[in-house]
Structures are given as structure tokens and as C-alpha cells.
Amino acid sequence: MNLRILVTAGDGIGPEVTNEAVKVLQEVMALGGHTLTLDHKRIGGIAITTDGTPLPADTLAAALASDAVLLGAVGGNEFNALPPDKRPEAGLLAIRSALGGFANLRPAFAFKELAVNSPLRPEIIDGADILFVRELLGGLYFGQPRQWDKAKGEAWNTMRYTRDEVVRVARIAFQLAQKRRKKLCSVDKANVLEVSQLWRATVIEVAAEFPDVRLEHQYVDAMAMHLMNRPRDFDVVLTENLFGDILSDESGVITGSLGMLPSATIGGKVNLYEPIHGSAPDIAGKGLANPIGAILTGALILRHTAGLEAEAAAIETSVRKVLSQGFRTADLARGNTAGLAVLSTTEMGVKVRETVKTMVVSA
Ligand code: IPM
Ligand code: MN
């Protein structure tokens, strides 16, 4: 097959980590006898600086013409004083909305090899494997009206959902649960918010289509605690936009580093793939960034867009193998280098590629 990927590397460590992800994808595709067509466009702070807008029209056009978009990260300290609609993040929200993917899949799982990296005790996290399904196009992020009225000293945002928006993301979450451990936990704040009452009632309605999936509901505040106390009890976790943003970062603690985690946004015209971590401007350009989140994001492109499950799994297995051999980026070694080899961003990419070569049977 031929897979056309648009790479929007963005800001900070985005270019370094996507570069490694792309090289792993090239290796795997070539081994499988497939071709990969790459295009590169600007988004975020780099696009503001060069083109005067965080999402230039040619970036969006190229995105819509591709099979998948691989995004690095956006944001930088020099843009922090700008209003929300002028910031690098506005480019990300605009591309999410234009591509139309409403279901953001964010796995949070424990790597046995990285158990010491988590502040949670190993017996708590061992075997934890959660898949967040975060609604990505509604709620407070996009609800109208929104404004900061400086004269009045007042600002407001609107948390708004339609029944249809909840139905479509809930169906995806139930379908994913059917392929996993058949448990779904829906998160809301139905004891306070009408929008959460609509959310809960709609999820209960959709549940009737999936009698084999066990559904539970948790309030978001309690869920924040349960995730740290008993992460193993959760399988698929369905959330609205902001709750998912917060809980998925929190769950990075289970893995020990946000730098390990990938995400995929599906359900729209073109799927959008991005590691969960940010642009980390403090370590950008130093070869310190961990490319594994981006590399595992590449695996999700193969799984969810290309339908190349074996190749996706080969990348994931390679990452585990490299970790089990004691290779770490600096963030993962955390100064505790006994028995570990600390690698730069590119060296980690090389290790994963060398390993994946031994796993994919060439066509
Ligand atoms: C994320 C990020 C984004 C979000 C920002 C950068 C707009 O935090 O992907 O989790 O809030 O969705
Ligand atoms: Mn976030």
C-alpha cells in the first residue's frame, strides 16, 4: 500500500521527536513492501512566526489531502501573552476541528521496565492498561459564547454538548471496549452540571446497543482519585473534552513519563496523530527529548489508518524490547543510571529501528 502522511512537526521538541517517528515508519513500511509518501508543513508557533497564523491555509489543504497527519507539539513561552485565538494552541484546535476527528484515543499503561519511574507503588500500577476516549470537538473548548470582557472584569466559556455529539463518541468507546476487557467507565459531573446529566443519560441509552460491555459512571473528582488508587480497575474511560485533558495527563503518572504516551484522533475526514506530551521548550534542540511517545504514535497510524496491525505491534514490541535491554532517554533514567544506558533522541530512534528490523518479515 501507499500511505500519505503529512508531518506537522510544530514547536519545541516536536521536530526532533517526529523525525525519529518518521524514520521508524519508513523502516517498517519498506520492510513490509509498502511505500510512504511524506509531506511537511508548519503549524503552531513556527507558523505564527513565519506565516503570521498558527494554521496556514496550505497546511490545512495538505492535511485534508493526506491519509493521516502526524503532529509533533505546539507552543512556546514567547506566545504566552497572546489571547487564546492567536496562540500556537489555536492552530492545533483549528486543525482538530477541520479534520473532524471527535474521538481522541489516549492509552495510559504501565511499562514493567519503567515501574521505578512512577511515584505510584509497583503493586498499584503493575498491569494497568487504560484507554481514554476523550471527546475532542465539544465542551468548553469549543462552546459558544466565550469571551473575556476586560471592561466588565468578567469572562465566560460554555460547556455545551448535543445528544448526537455524545452518541457518536460513546459508540466508539463501547466498540473499543468490546475489543478489550469489555468495561467502560463514563466520567461526568452529573451531581452539578446539566451538560453532564445529558452526557450520562445519553451514554446509558447507547449502552443498550452493547449489552456485552459493563458500564459504570464516576464523577470526575472521584475518578481523579480512583485512577491513582486503583488504576488496574479501569479499561476504557470515556470523558468529555476538558475532563479527558486533565485525567489523561494525570494518568501519565502510571507510565512514569508523559514522554512515552501516544494518541490518535479518529472519526473525522482524516485521522490526526499526536504524542500526548507538549513542546518542552526548555529541552528543545538538545537531543534530550524522548521520541518514544512519537514513535508509538506512528504505530497508531499503522493500526488505525493503514490497517497494518502486525507492523504496529512490531513497533510496540520493539519499544518494550529496547527498554528491557536497559536503554533510556535522560527523562526516563532520571539520573539513576546504574545498569542503564542513557541515549539521545536520535540514538533511541536508531535502537528502535534496529530492533524493529529483526521483527518485521520483509515482503
Ligand atoms: C492536549 C493539549 C492541548 C489540549 C492543548 C495544547 C491545546 O493539552 O492535547 O492535551 O488541551 O487539548
Ligand atoms: Mn493536555
d(CA 63, CA 97): 12
Indicate left, alpha or beta for 3 from its phi (over 0: left) and psi (-120 to 50: alpha): beta
Report the atom number in ligand 1 closest to the C-alpha of 249. 10
State pTM to two decimals. 0.94
pLDDT of residue 339: 82
d(CA 89, CA 86): 8
CA of 136 to the centre of ligand 1 (A): 10
Respond yes or no on whether the N-terminal peptide bond of residue 145 is cis (omega within 30° of 0): yes
Convert the pLDDT of each residue in 241-297 to its tens digit: 999 999 999 999 999 888 999 999 999 999 999 999 999 999 999 999 999 999 999
- How confident is the prediction for the chain on average, in pLDDT? 96
The length of the chain in residues reads: 363
Query: Which is more confidently placed, 117 or 105?
Result: 105
What residue owns the CA closest to ligand 1's atom 7? 89
Convert the pLDDT of each residue in 115-150 to its tens digit: 888 999 999 999 999 999 999 999 999 999 999 999
What residue owns the CA closest to ligand 1's atom 4? 245
**Active-site annotation, residues:** 141, 189, 221, 245, 249
Q: To test ligand 1's pocket by mutation, which of 82, 87, 89, 239 has the most ligand atoms within 8 angstroms of CB?
A: 89
Provide, rounded to the nearest whole percent, the portion of the chain with pLDDT above 90. 92
Ligand nearest to the CA of 106: 1
Report the atom number in ligand 1 closest to the C-alpha of 248. 10
CA of 72 to the centre of ligand 2 (A): 13
The whole-number average pLDDT for the span 170-195 is: 98
What residue owns the CA closest to ligand 1's atom 8? 245
Model confidence at 361: pLDDT above 90: no
Model confidence at 114: pLDDT above 70: yes
How many degrees, rounded to 5, is the angle at CA 39 between CA 91 and CA 290? 70
d(CA 353, CA 123): 32
